[in-house]
Structure 1
């Protein structure tokens, strides 16, 4: 490892994530890591599409890709004497630097650097001469596949020149890190000069979200898409939307004790809230906030301040009308934010009542 990002750094598409042997390892977006050397025209697969789509997004002309259903002649593997394909380390392919790509979403787990795998052994035929080239095969392009074309190879070379990589026109395992999107660097788990064979760092998505521990008894009233109000540390509020409701109960004191893990906190279920306007929290890296959920809604009701309610000796409540000073028995409805819904004889919109100062 010859360069590492600082904790808290945001890395986006095409930017250097780290350096191995003083060669940059950039970040590409996608769901399929580079699992083989892309070093021959005609190779077909989703890993090729990842390269093509990222280069195109970075402004490189990758040419026209073959359409779905096209039949492509796959290049034959270069056989070793006896019919075995050479492994990358033996010169039969592009050797992979330390620092491989991650195959999972950046949920805080470590990005690992796998060693370059050995290429599979090509089948041999009892009648084939030792070292005879294998016959090429044909592959049909499916949805989501890309194809290594001459235009794509040329685009790779232009990109390699721009980022300071050798202009080979090919990519090997570990030459780029593939993750679903932009990431924020968490804790580093290696240091400069190390081999990079273990975990390198933890990463998380760049979108800021709020995680709310909710009593399991109340989770049933919360649904994905519900609107909430988030109270921030600077006393301002911002709207949010429930983006996920967990299913795992955490902190069950009884089960923790039974398992020998010691007493735990009260049981909770995590509810994830997305912030509707991310600019409202740009000054906060992490913070404790309060989230107000709407558990029930009432429309078209008449409401008065809770302080206007007077308890009656026989039970129930009344309000005192201004002017006449008479009391009117009322039935109460929903309480929310210091207000209460009421109904009663003579209570109409605009009725004035006495309330506590």
Structure 2
């Protein structure tokens, strides 16, 4: 199985200069290597010379190298979003903190009537009562009633005048109105077949109530509560200059106490942290963008306390390449690098990706298992 190594972000990549500390090391090794060759020649002429200590060697190994960065994130339920009520009426019941929403279940009550939850991306911004009306809000109603098991019928043809711009969304059909009436009766609402603003609350998906702001007796058209993700996530602040290498859906590794577990990037915030959180002038820190990460198995973090979790993002992988320890590189006087064989022979190499303590190499005469001298 190929070995995988995490890359330091300060290590040079393909075509970049090697850090000064590495150059100092490899130049020192070159001097030692040359001295070893000279001593070897001298010893060949003097049979009474004492034996030199054996040199440190390593083998050229074929493996996978990955270019990655590890950033410490915060385990919790993610950023809090605010829910504002709509329509008219008075709040008569509110959910307790920690409540998890469910499609079709009431989140709160207004004038003692339940206000159920629908999932979607468009709120009910108008009364839906006229057959034939088209829009994304109708799509939300249609999709949710269908998901709850109601017969919403066929979509229905949409008639448009010649040259008329297309209208997005579904059509309110007689079958959809009939399904709405049946649903209203089942949840304890008057089966009018009309859905008024405020009769339902649209959320992006299942959420967890985090902080109720309103009080019983308040008007509904106010800030009602905050909500977060229903399960624990890791929020990772990534340098704005580096976030472009991270894509939603890509795999990551969560470094939990005593073990590593897989995760996935679920989202990237669209804006940088606001100016009030930016470092003062002269600070070499960069602005941050929050990246939300989900564990592949929610159970991996379900029993962990909220706190720091290192997350490894892999941006590039070089598979099945030849590698040696960085300490095996020798800086050549004319430029470039070489490896030294135990007998003193130098083998010129091209360097590729630098990983933690390792470097990708290529060149004529290189084979897996080749022994090379390494700085002690």
Tell me the TM-score normalized by structure 2. Answer: 0.58
Which of 142, 156, 177 is equivalent to 1:66?
A: 156
Q: Using the alignment, how far apart are the partners of 1:14 and 1:275 within structure 2?
A: 26
Which residue does 1:191 correspond to in 2?
Answer: 215
Q: Using the alignment, how far apart are the partners of 2:336 and 2:180 within structure 1?
A: 78
Shift of 1:342: 3.5
> Which has more helix, going by share of residues?
2
Q: Using the alignment, how far apart are the partners of 1:60 and 1:320 within structure 2?
A: 75
Shift of 1:330: 5.7
CA 1:144–1:289: 2 relative to 1, 3 Å: same
Shift of 1:26: 0.5
Which residue does 1:24 correspond to in 2?
Answer: 114
Shift of 1:224: 3.0
SS at 1:224 equivalent: coil
Which of 168, 172, 182 is equivalent to 1:147?
A: 172
The superposition leaves residues 124-166 of structure 1 with CA deviations (integer Å, 9 ceiling, x where unpaired) of xxxxxxxxxxxxxxxx9955242252x4343223212322223
Is residue 166 of structure 1 aligned with residue 190 of structure 2? yes
CA 1:240–1:339: 2 relative to 1, 3 Å: farther
Q: Using the alignment, how far apart are the partners of 2:101 and 2:154 within structure 1?
A: 29
> Which has more strand, going by share of residues?
2
CA 1:158–1:216: 2 relative to 1, 3 Å: closer
Shift of 1:65: 4.6
Shift of 1:182: 2.6
Measured on the aligned residues, the alpha-carbon RMSD in Å equals 4.2
CA 1:268–1:278: 2 relative to 1, 3 Å: farther
SS at 1:236 equivalent: strand
Q: Is the 8 A contact 2:119 2:144 kept in 1?
A: yes
1:1-357 mapped onto 2 (5 Å cutoff): 1-39=91-129, 42=131, 44-46=133-135, 47-69=137-159, 142-149=167-174, 151-206=175-230, 210-219=234-243, 222-224=245-247, 227=250, 229-234=252-257, 235-241=259-265, 243-244=267-268, 246=270, 248=272, 251-254=277-280, 266-270=285-289, 272-275=291-294, 277-279=296-298, 281=300, 283=302, 286-294=306-314, 296-299=316-319, 301-306=321-326, 309=328, 321=341, 326=344, 328=346, 331=349, 332-343=351-362, 346-353=365-372
Q: Using the alignment, how far apart are the partners of 2:279 and 2:183 within structure 1?
A: 55
Q: Is the 8 A contact 1:69 1:141 kept in 2?
A: no
The superposition leaves residues 154-189 of structure 1 with CA deviations (integer Å, 9 ceiling, x where unpaired) of 322321232222333333221111233332322211
